[in-house]
Amino acid sequence: ATLSVHQLVENADEVFCIDNEALYDICFRTLKLTTPTFGDLNHLVSAVMAGITCSLRFPGQLNADLRKLAVNLIPFPRLHFFMVGFAPLTSRGSQQYRALTVPELTQQMFDAKNMMCAADPRHGRYLTAAAMFRGRMSTKEVDEQMLNVQNKNSSYFVEWIPNNIKASVCDIPPKGLKMSVNFIGNSTAIQEMFKRVSEQFTGMFRRKAFLHWYVGEG
């Protein structure tokens, strides 16, 4: 991952950061799984990525494709590394026992425990954010909640980008849920993840661990 960062900075339009540490954390703490498998981790990754791209496949009152996301989330070209989250979090094969409301989804969405990237957004500020709701709901209620979040937590949002939360609503919910929300945040807290991965990389590179795989690929 570290060796590809320079390519991602220069050549990618959007990068969704998903981190094994955060995924295991969600499995242990939130889903209470004692021995999570790669299948459990992949379930979380597929839920969040399917939600991000759902408007390419399904109709909605207020759709947002990847181009719209890029336009609304990237203030400067190199700042395109996003933290992603999903609510409600459910384990494989289980179903939500009750439908959550839009305010509950909004509260969960901004919670650090729901982030799939091990960086605490409270340690940084949001440049921009996007909330992609799925299910039957009122767009008016969604807009009110987004405004409410910005007003209550204004210190966590930069003041030089006004109205910096983009909301979209797709009518078709994910399988087994009545409503869900995907969160995409462009936050300065992402540096925590880069610092941690960089430290881990330095330790492994010093011992030349796994380097033969990389060199072998040319």
CATH number of the domain within which 164 lies:
3.30.1330.20
Which residue in 29, 7, 16, 12 sits closest to 193, CA to CA? 16
Q: Is residue 185 a part of any domain in this protein?
A: yes
Q: Is residue 6 a part of any domain in this protein?
A: no
Residue 176, pLDDT score: 85
Give yes or no for a cis peptide into 88 (omega within 30° of 0): yes
Residue 56, pLDDT score: 87
Q: Collect the ranges in the chain with pLDDT lower than 70.
A: 95-98, 218
**What is the pTM (predicted TM-score) of this model?**
0.89
Q: Is residue 214 a part of any domain in this protein?
A: no
Backbone angles phi, psi at 4, to 5 degrees: -95, -5
Q: Is residue 8 a part of any domain in this protein?
A: no
Give yes or no for a cis peptide into 77 (omega within 30° of 0): no
Residue 128, pLDDT score: 96
Domains identified in the chain, total number = 1
Q: Is residue 44 a part of any domain in this protein?
A: yes
Q: Is residue 55 a part of any domain in this protein?
A: yes
Q: Is residue 202 a part of any domain in this protein?
A: no
Q: Is residue 178 a part of any domain in this protein?
A: yes
Domain extent, residue 181, equals 14-189
Report the length, in residues, of the chain.
218
Alpha carbon distance 63, 98 (integer Å): 26
